[in-house]
Amino acid sequence: MFAIEVTTTFQAEHALRLPGGGEEPRHAHDFQVTVQIEAEKLDALSTVVDFHLVERALEGIVGAWRGKCFNDIEPFASTVNPSAERVAERIARLLLAPIETFEGDADRGLRLVEVRITEAPGCLAIYRP
């Protein structure tokens, strides 16, 4: 089994909606996101997948959130509490379609293993699809 990780950072705000109503004060984080992708077999270039493809796919997701507040962006604006755990889950779900295109012609067992997001030093959330 082979694996790669790609990491990026972005700044965004959020405010968790509290049980019983209300929400915590809006505040910003410098989020660090790391995605891990694995494959049973390497591609024709002897890679899991080109790092640049993953970087572009990840930037296509977090770039839309950079400098914004999750509470103002769907699905966080209405139904999903914008916790780090849910942000990691959303990133994973949005990465699934691009990862399918990375597979190419051969079934190499390519899959997203996990998305890790750090919102502050020592505070890490992980989502494994």
Q: Supply the pLDDT for residue 36.
A: 98
Q: In the chain, what are the domains?
A: 2-17+26-127 (3.30.479.10)
Average pLDDT of the residues of the chain: 94
CB neighbours of 37 closer than 8 A, spacing ≥ 6? 3, 4, 5, 6, 48, 49, 54, 99, 102, 110, 111, 112, 113
Confidence (pLDDT) at 33? 98
- How far is Cα 90 from Cα 80, in angstroms, rounded to an integer? 10
Q: List, for residues 59-113, the tens digit of each pLDDT value.
A: 999 999 999 999 999 999 998 999 999 999 999 999 998 988 887 666 888 999 9
Q: What is the pLDDT of residue 77?
A: 96
Cβ 73 vs Cβ 65: under 8 Å: yes
Is residue 29 pLDDT above 90, yes or no? Answer: yes
Which pLDDT tens digit goes with each residue over 88-103? 999 999 999 898 888 7
Give pLDDT, residue 105. Answer: 60
- The pair of structure tokens assigned to 11 is 């700044």
- The residues, any chain, with a CB within 8 Å of residue 93's CB and separated by 6 or more, are 129
Q: How far out from the chain centre does Cα 120 lie?
A: 16
